[in-house]
Structure 1
Amino acid sequence: MTISDSGTRRTPKKAALSGWIGSALEYYDFAIYAQAAALIFPRIFFPDSNPAVAIIASLATYAVGYVARPIGAVVLGHWGDRIGRKSVLVFAMFLMGVSTFAVGLLPTYAQIGVVAPLLLVLLRLIQGFAVAGELGGASAMIIEHAPDGKRGYYASFPLQGTQLGTALGSAVFIPLTAFLPDAAFESWGWRVPFMLSVVVVIAGYLIRRHVRETPTFQENRTEIKREKPPVIEVFRTRWKLIIKAILMSFVNIIGTTVVVFGTAYATNPGYGVGMDPTVYLWIPVLANLVAIALIPSFGKLSDRIGRRPVMLIGTIGAGLLVFPYLYAVGHKNEVLTILLAILLMGVLFQMWNAVFASFFQEMFPASTRVTGFAISQNIGLAIVAFAPTIFSFVAPPGTENVPLIVGGICLVVCLLAAVATILTPESHRVRLEDLGTWSAPVIPKEEYMKLYRAKTEDAPAAAE
């Protein structure tokens, strides 16, 4: 625990715990939709006359949630940068819980026709709007509470929470699909995970109402409010960094490929693989359990050797491993599929995932930190979210070379993200109060290098 210059107390452990629990609860809500979109929604919310069209439509409703995320990033980012990090997190949690609970109440296509998928899309849009403010606000709060030299470690905890939420979102379907008859699961069993969102709303509120606002925001509140709206300011001063961060966020294609398209490819009758849905549900659970164990270590490693090396190894390695993973799925090799999924999602992808929050937050000053992070992350996610839909279009049921087509797209996207990472300045040794004043895009390169060297020499003392 440290004290800022103005006497405002920093509480990095409490902030990290709040971010961890809040992200786990909110991403549980977001993850159960992904599982349901692959397992059940094509059969109950869309006409069953054409299975291929139903798959594409269901996966498209999953992607629609990401369309709303850039809008939520602007609105909730503004809220977080102007009103406070804490209040936006409480609101985002409440909105996510209510919209997810409402999905569990929806009537099916057989009951009300085309209105059912329209309501599903509307609620998914609200989900996407709400989740856009979660990680940006939580990681900004942690970054601003954490001591210099340990930002990567502390900022990794919300990402550990997102993996826990994703694992829970998959695990909750396992007993339902294993023990319920198909008719019972289709009529009411799938609704149970969505109904549990009531717990999310209550728990999230109780946790986050006790967390203090960050010292950085409190100390700069007056100056921040005098500046232009954060969305205007961030595009005016750091538009190049926004572009690079968007490209880097494309690495999330790994998650959508393994969890969303991978589920459809493995279990949907149209592809003819025929992997047991219950078995396949264990894949993201096991991979995320490994991820939960490793994420803090990757965050700590980035504090020592830098953000970029850790992210690059994970990005390129994950892009290459998609080929053998999809090959194993296509040949119904369950043991190899599970092992490769754990290595892909539990290890390599997490080298990127554990570090990107601190790296992205360190690109922006306090006045635009939530907005800059949220916009870049969510625009990238909105684009990548359509990957499963694109995959099901370019490699529909009946296609023989699915691993080659889908794997090739993933590798090209990951290489593009790797180039953006290489072109972004390292930031792990810069002091918090200097973030946003030293970045290369706003000062000449020579001056940047001189200032960067000066800050890195001072950083060990500051971290202590």
Structure 2
Amino acid sequence: MSTTTAGEVRPEASIGKRDPKKAAMSGWIGSALEYYDFALYSQAAALVFPTVFFPSGNATVAIIASLATYAVGYVSRPIGAIVLGAWGDRHGRKNVLTFAMLLMGCATFLVGLLPTFGQIGILAPILLVALRLIQGFAVAGELGGASAMIVEHSPDSRRGFFASFSLQGTQFGSILATGLMLPLAAILSDEQFQTWGWRIPFLLSALVILAGWIIRRRVQEPPVFLAQSDAAMAKRRLPIVELVQTHLWVLIRCILMTLTNVIGMATLVFGVAFATQEGYGNGFTTSEFLWVTLVANVVAIVTIPIFGALSDKIGRRTLMLIGGIGGGLLAGVYLWAIEQGSLALVFVCVIVIQGVFFQMWNATFATFYQEQFPMRIRVTGFAVAQNVGLMIAAFFPSIFTAIAPPGTTNIPLVIGSLAFGICLVAAVAAFLSDETKGTSLEDLETKSIKLP
């Protein structure tokens, strides 16, 4: 029997059994496809959009504006988290995952068709922002729904391992995006790449639309979700209302923990602009830093399931603390390596920071967050916490650029110190959260209901 509250369950035996492997695979594939779209935009925002969609004349303003459009996608994510989270909690994880995938694919395809600033003026960045808002809305429901499905299908002793595959999928999506951008940037001239080459990966999102529909329609709901009675579900409050009323402190802690993403914002977003934009004078090429991003994600593919399995052994909090603090401490070192002009040193730093330390945190947080909330608000709790935190973190690259524009001295020290301070705040929030590894879903449900 499922253990929500009395009178809210059906016998689970009558509606199927857990299938963690199929759930993990569907989460992996779906996350890979959806984050392929999202990663494309983040790369193009640093490498292409400053010259394509914004007026020339002031390099600093163009970089800040382009990175701000990257951040705008995170502004709509909390809205998507509330809407899509409620859909997932009330009508099923499968339904929300299919819709989110299709919406993301359509928005990304349309970015590839947008005219430039030189062709239609100010309307170009306006349309870009509108599509970015749609992207943000769509992606808000992906990881929350996918990881909830995997957690609810998995055995209690291996939730961390199976749920980590949805995060591995996001890294593979980034690899796929970079793997398409890299040969285009290397083969085409700068003019060809800036004019039309960058559009090809965006237009290929048409395939994402088809693949997403085929994959998501075959996903089965977890038995624990199907065990709820329709009458009991109909009587519940709106998930976001119940979340705020019953789990506000848990929500705040998870939002603060999400700020650990400053590590990626400082290295793979601001760091790319710092390395390649002419105003900073570090002299790296677009092709070189696409390789840096690719290597970071390839290493992450390997380390994520290792750390996911390790979280089942030694606990979620330990890995989140070590990963967040270690990655934050070394973010400034990565920027220093860029300043030294040594590509080999940059590769070493990105492997250690992004491939190891950040993945300790990244492989663990989805499981940890899901375990903090009861089933009836699980997708909403995860989605709101992650996406509010990411909305805040997404503005860090623009803030970093404003604090340390081209010509500023001691950029690695200034930005590195700021990133480390933010990671310390996130680490405190993790430390104040209860360890959840190995606890049964039934016990987690009982514990979460008792929370104030």
TM-score range, shorter chain: over 0.9
| CA shift digits 1:102-135 (9 cap, x unpaired) | 0000000000000000000000000000000000
| Contact map agreement 1:425 1:439 (CA 8 A) in 2 | no
Q: Distance in 2 between matches of 1:171 and 1:251?
A: 26
> Who is 1:135 aligned against?
143
- 1:437 positional shift: 2.3
Structure 1 residues 227-376: aligned runs within 5 Å? 227-376=236-385
| Contact map agreement 2:15 2:226 (CA 8 A) in 1 | no
Task: Kindly provide the amino acid, as one letter, of the partner of residue 175 in structure 1.
Answer: P
Q: 1:47 to 1:441 in 2, by over 3 A?
A: farther
- 1:428 positional shift: 1.0
| CA shift digits 1:411-460 (9 cap, x unpaired) | 001000100000001111211122232149716xxxxxxxxxxxxxxxxx
**% identity of equivalent residues:** 57
Match 1:217 to one of 221, 225, 245: 225
> Who is 2:49 aligned against?
41
| Contact map agreement 1:104 1:192 (CA 8 A) in 2 | yes
> Who is 2:8 aligned against?
none
> Who is 2:388 aligned against?
379
> Who is 2:6 aligned against?
none
Q: Distance in 1 between matches of 2:223 and 2:306?
A: 26
Q: 1:384 to 1:441 in 2, by over 3 A?
A: farther
Q: Distance in 1 between matches of 2:91 and 2:229?
A: 9
SS of the residue 1:426 aligns to: coil
Q: Distance in 1 between matches of 2:41 and 2:160?
A: 30
Q: Distance in 2 between matches of 1:441 and 1:379?
A: 25
Aligned residues: 441
- 1:47 positional shift: 0.6
Q: Distance in 1 between matches of 2:115 and 2:229?
A: 47
Task: Kindly provide the amino acid, as one letter, of the partner of residue 49 in structure 2.
Answer: F
Q: After the TM superposition, which of the residue ranges 367-376 and 294-303 deviates more from structure 2?
A: 294-303
Task: Kindly provide the amino acid, as one letter, of the partner of residue 100 in structure 1.
Answer: T
SS of the residue 2:148 aligns to: helix
SS of the residue 2:446 aligns to: coil
| Contact map agreement 2:50 2:66 (CA 8 A) in 1 | yes
Q: Distance in 1 between matches of 2:337 and 2:276?
A: 13
> Who is 2:442 aligned against?
433
Cα RMSD (Å) of the superposition?
Answer: 1.2
TM-score by length of 1: 0.93
> Who is 2:16 aligned against?
8
Q: After the TM superposition, which of the residue ranges 105-114 and 219-228 deviates more from structure 2?
A: 219-228
Structure 1 residues 171-210: aligned runs within 5 Å? 171-210=179-218
Task: Kindly provide the amino acid, as one letter, of the partner of residue 51 in structure 2.
Answer: R
Q: Distance in 2 between matches of 1:273 and 1:29?
A: 29
SS of the residue 1:437 aligns to: helix
Q: Distance in 2 between matches of 1:44 and 1:316?
A: 37
Q: Distance in 1 between matches of 2:449 and 2:408?
A: 47
SS of the residue 2:372 aligns to: coil
Q: After the TM superposition, which of the residue ranges 46-55 and 253-262 deviates more from structure 2?
A: 253-262
SS of the residue 1:188 aligns to: helix
| CA shift digits 1:57-76 (9 cap, x unpaired) | 00000000000000000000
- 1:92 positional shift: 0.1
- 1:167 positional shift: 1.8
- 1:6 positional shift: 4.6
| CA shift digits 1:7-53 (9 cap, x unpaired) | 52111100000000100010010001011011110001001011110
| CA shift digits 1:286-328 (9 cap, x unpaired) | 1111111111111111111111011111011101111211100
Q: After the TM superposition, which of the residue ranges 183-192 and 416-425 deviates more from structure 2?
A: 183-192
TM-score by length of 2: 0.96
Q: Distance in 1 between matches of 2:15 and 2:135?
A: 38
Task: Kindly provide the amino acid, as one letter, of the partner of residue 111 in structure 2.
Answer: V
Q: Distance in 2 between matches of 1:105 and 1:425?
A: 48
- 1:221 positional shift: 4.4
Task: Kindly provide the amino acid, as one letter, of the partner of residue 83 in structure 1.
Answer: H
- 1:256 positional shift: 1.6
Q: Distance in 2 between matches of 1:440 and 1:335?
A: 51
Q: Distance in 2 between matches of 1:62 and 1:121?
A: 8
Match 2:68 to one of 56, 60, 74: 60
| CA shift digits 1:191-217 (9 cap, x unpaired) | 001001011111111111111111111
Q: After the TM superposition, which of the residue ranges 183-192 and 390-399 deviates more from structure 2?
A: 183-192
Match 1:112 to one of 110, 120, 142: 120
Task: Kindly provide the amino acid, as one letter, of the partner of residue 211 in structure 2.
Answer: A
Which sections of structure 2, spanning at least 5 residues, go unmatched?
Answer: 1-10
Q: 1:440 to 1:217 in 2, by over 3 A?
A: closer
Q: Distance in 2 between matches of 1:344 and 1:154?
A: 23
| Contact map agreement 1:363 1:436 (CA 8 A) in 2 | no
Q: After the TM superposition, which of the residue ranges 4-13 and 111-120 deviates more from structure 2?
A: 4-13
> Who is 1:449 aligned against?
none
Q: Distance in 2 between matches of 1:259 and 1:118?
A: 25
| CA shift digits 1:307-356 (9 cap, x unpaired) | 10111110111011112111001111110001100111011000000000
| Contact map agreement 1:240 1:441 (CA 8 A) in 2 | no
SS of the residue 1:274 aligns to: coil
> Who is 1:79 aligned against?
87
Task: Kindly provide the amino acid, as one letter, of the partner of residue 108 in structure 2.
Answer: T
